[in-house]
Chain A
C-alpha cells in the first residue's frame, strides 16, 4: 500500500535585490532545493505586511520564510532593520498563540549566497515537513 506522504507548501518572500538574486544563483549553480518552496518576489523584505504571512497560511502554506539583504545592505538602506523588528514581534505573537515557531523564519541571503539559499531552504523544508500540516492557522475552505 502506498502511504501518502505530506508534501509541505512553503512560501518564501524574497527581496528583489539580494535574496531573489541569491535564489537565481542557486539555480544557475544547479544546487538542489525542494520544489515545495514557492518564491514570491517583493521589492524589499520590509514590503512584507503581517497580513501577507497570515494570508499565506490561510491559503495552505505550511511554513513562511522571509529572505532579505543582510542588515546594513538593504537596497533602501534601512528596510530590513524594520523587517527585523516587525517580524520579531509578529513571530513571538504567533508563538504566544500556540502556532509552532518553526513555521516562520527570517533569513538574510545576499545575491552572492546561492549556496546559503539552497541550504536554508533545505533546512527549513525539513523542519516544516517534520511538523506536518499546518492545522492551527488553516482555512479549510482554501484547501486544495
Chain B
C-alpha cells in the first residue's frame, strides 16, 4: 500500500530525463508477473512509460547498482531510494564506491514491501493478478475465478516488519513527507536465540543453514559486499561457487559473509529478501550489529557519510573477547 503513486514517480522520471538533468533512470521495471519486479536502467522516455513500475513489490535496493553503473555513464543517473536504501547509499559513499556527483537521488516514501513467498504461502501458486484494495491485496489466480484477499500487514518482508527508519538520510529531492527514525524491536529475535542453550542454537542454525544452495544471491545483492575480488570467487579457496559439501562449508560461508560486512551492514535486509531458500540471514547480520552496539556504543552504519566503522576503529579500553561471555553469563 504505497502512499505515493506510480504515476507521480513516472512523471518525475520522464521530466528529468527529457530536460536532460539525467541521462538514465535506474528504476523498477515490469517483470513477467506483477510481483516479479526487475531493476532496469531506462534510457528512453518510451521505455519508461511502457515498463516503469512502482508497487508493493519494489523491494530492490538500488544503491549497489550505482557502483557499477556510474562509471559507465556519461551524465547523471536518476535513482529512486526508499528510506532504508539511503543508508546503504551513504555507506557506499563513505567507502568511496561511487561518485556522488554522478547521481541524482530521489527519496521515495515506503510503507513496507511484500514478500512474494509469504504471499504465495497464503494463496498458493498461479497468481495472475494482484490489486491493492485498502488494507488488503486482492489476488486473482489463474485456476480460480474468485479473488482472495490477503491483509497487506501479513505478507510484509521480514525487514519491513521491524522497519528501522522511514527517514531518508540522503537525497537530492524528496517526494512525499519526511519520515522518522523508528524505535523498532529488530533485535528481539536475536535476543530470543541468545537465550537458548548452545545446543538449541546449534540445532536452529544447522536446520536453517543446511538449506543453503550457495547460489551467492545474498552476497550479490548485499550493498555492503562490493569487493571486486571476493574470497568466495577464489578458485584456490576450495569453496568457489559450489554447493556446500558438509556442515562446515555451510557455516563457514555464512559466518564469513556476515563477518565481512560487520560494522558496515546497514541492516537493509536484502540478503534475506533474495534468499531463495528463505534462510533468515539478516539475523546473523543483526547479531553483529547488536553486539557492536552493546560493546562499542550505538552505531548505525550509513546514518551519516564519513563515520568510522566500529571494526576498523578501537579504543584502549575495549572489552576483552573473553569478557564478552562473562558479561552475558552474569546477566543471565
Please give the residue numbers on chain A whose beta carbons come within 8 Å of chain B beta carbons, in ascending order: 50-51, 54, 57-58, 71-72, 78, 81-82, 84-101, 104-106, 136-141
Residues of B within 8 A of A92 (CB): 287, 291, 324-325
Residues of A within 8 A of B271 (CB): none
Knowing A95-B198, A139-B248 are in contact, say whether A89-B311 is a contact too (CB < 8 A). Answer: yes
B202 with A98: CB separation less than 8 A: yes
B202 with A137: CB separation less than 8 A: no
**Interface membership of B84, Cβ < 8 A:** no
Q: Could you pull out 7 A-B pairs where Cβ atoms are within 8 angstroms? A: A81-B316, A96-B284, A98-B202, A99-B202, A104-B321, A106-B321, A106-B322
Q: What's the Cα separation between A122 and B37 when bound, in Å?
A: 59
Give the secondary structure class of A's interface: helix
A97 with B259: CB separation less than 8 A: no
Across the two chains, which residue of chain A brings its CB closest to B249?
A: A139
Give the secondary structure class of B's interface: helix
A82 with B200: CB separation less than 8 A: no
Q: Which of A88, A95, A96, A98 has a CB less than 8 Å from the CB of B199?
A: A98
Segment of B46-54, B171-179, B250-258 in the binding face: B250-258
Across the two chains, which residue of chain A brings its CB closest to B205?
A: A97
Q: What's the Cα separation between A101 and B205 when bound, in Å?
A: 16
B231 with A96: CB separation less than 8 A: no
The contact size tier of chain B is 35 or more
Residues of A within 8 A of B200 (CB): 98
Knowing A54-B256, A57-B248, A81-B316 are in contact, say whether A93-B321 is a contact too (CB < 8 A). Answer: no
Please encode chain B, from 303 to 330, with 1 for each CB lying within 8 Å of some chain A CB and 0 for all others: 0000000111111101111101100000
Q: What's the Cα separation between A31 and B158 when bound, in Å?
A: 55
Q: What's the Cα separation between A85 and B200 when bound, in Å?
A: 27
The 9 closest A-B pairs by CB, nearest first: A98-B202, A81-B314, A98-B201, A139-B248, A88-B321, A87-B321, A106-B321, A98-B198, A97-B205
Max chain A C-beta neighbours (<10 A), residue from B204, B287, B310:
B287
Across the two chains, which residue of chain B brings its CB closest to A50?
A: B259
Residues of A within 8 A of B295 (CB): 85, 88-89
Residues of B within 8 A of A50 (CB): 255-256, 259
Max chain A C-beta neighbours (<10 A), residue from B203, B255, B258, B259:
B255
Knowing A50-B255, A88-B318, A89-B311 are in contact, say whether A95-B325 is a contact too (CB < 8 A). Answer: yes
